[in-house]
Chain A
């Protein structure tokens, strides 16, 4: 099974409220990623977990948090959603290997009102 699953597929949130998105994979991949995709923009890498080590991009360091309780699951947490967080959030996973392929989930569309 090479699928990456994301829940929920659609999420409606209110401004100022927290948001938690979930991703799972059963391929025993050591690295899991979160991207943000807005219309007409490139998918933007937010952070990734290599095993239990979290790496966050400098410009998103304070905006997103994540946890990885085990190898299969990874969450993306927004403490206080703003309108600018409305986007598609893509989860991916891969092995740490130069020729490794990233496997992507279908995404969670977050709308903040």
Chain B
């Protein structure tokens, strides 16, 4: 069955530390890949997306993600987190790149000042 897995429901890191949030997908073909962030009381916002080419993609606010076809993964990274990065992060995939999007359960990130 096709699926998106975010194995860490909650992550806590100290401000200034590096961050990696994990995402693995299970699809018969390489899908289009996305990371979204949801701040408290706001809608989901796109952080970055991958369609093809360089497996490392840059997003907003210093986030980047690396696609690995061999591992079926699309992990999100940030070199130095800020307290304002505290939010819920969702990994999502789409076979078409539009319309049919499927999300992971999300990872709740808490950054301790």
Chain A residues close to B by CB (< 8 Å): 4, 31, 33, 35, 40-45, 48, 50, 55, 90, 92, 94-107
Q: Contacts of B101 on A, CB cut-off 8 Å?
A: 33, 45, 102
A100 touches B43 (CB 8 A): no
Complex: chain B residue closest to A43, CB-CB: B103
Query: In terms of DSSP, what is the predominant structure of the interface of chain B?
Result: loop
Chain B residues close to A by CB (< 8 Å): 4, 9, 32, 36, 41-46, 49, 51, 90, 96-106
Report the Cα distance A50→B100, complex, angstroms. 11
Given A31-B98, A96-B99, list of 20 further CB < 8 A pairs?
A4-B43, A40-B105, A41-B105, A42-B4, A42-B106, A43-B44, A44-B103, A45-B102, A48-B99, A50-B99, A95-B98, A98-B51, A98-B97, A99-B49, A99-B97, A101-B46, A102-B46, A104-B36, A106-B41, A106-B42
B46 touches A42 (CB 8 A): no
Report the Cα distance A74→B99, complex, angstroms. 15
